[in-house]
Amino acid sequence: MQQGNYDTLIRKTYGDFEVGDLDLLKVVMADDVVWHEPGRNPLAGDHRGPDGVLALLAELKQRSGDTFQIEVLDVFSNAERAVVLQRETASSNGKSLDVIAAVEFEIHHGKVTEATVFHSDAYQFDAFWSDVS
């Protein structure tokens, strides 16, 4: 994949997540992909390999009663990196989540090798996921 096409790759990946087809996401992940989820909540930590990343994404949906949604606000990409600005929302047990996040993707040979998440309100993100099971 050539430079500039990562915007399309990343938007398609988010579309696959939105429609719930998590298995399609494996196609864009390297075998040794690492997802860094910040915070002090039960979902925080490093999630390794496509199965580890998919387990995290599935748990976001499951723990929120399938209300967890991502709105892509913008995508910036270059030869080996894409950054997605996104709005994350969810509701469960009378609580709601509404935060802006930036997700930095490292991409090599058309595959995501690493993703690092940065939340605008880490306290709100932690509080929501710590109280939802």
33-52, pLDDT tens digit by residue?
999 999 999 999 999 999 99
Q: Mean pLDDT across the stretch 46-66?
A: 94
- The tally of domains found in the chain comes to 1
Question: Residue 9 is which amino acid?
Answer: L
Residue span of the structural domain in which 83 resides: 6-131
CATH classification of the domain holding 118: 3.10.450.50
Residue 115, class by beta-carbon neighbours within 10 Å (0-12 exposed, 13-18 middle, 19+ buried)?
buried
Look at 4-13, 20-29, 84-93 and tell me which has the smallest mean pLDDT: 4-13
Q: Mean pLDDT across the stretch 122-132?
A: 90
Q: Indicate the pTM of the whole model.
A: 0.90
Other CB atoms within 10 A of residue 97 CB: 20
Report pLDDT for 133.
63
Q: 45: left (phi > 0), else alpha (psi -120 to 50), else beta?
A: left
1, part of any domain: no
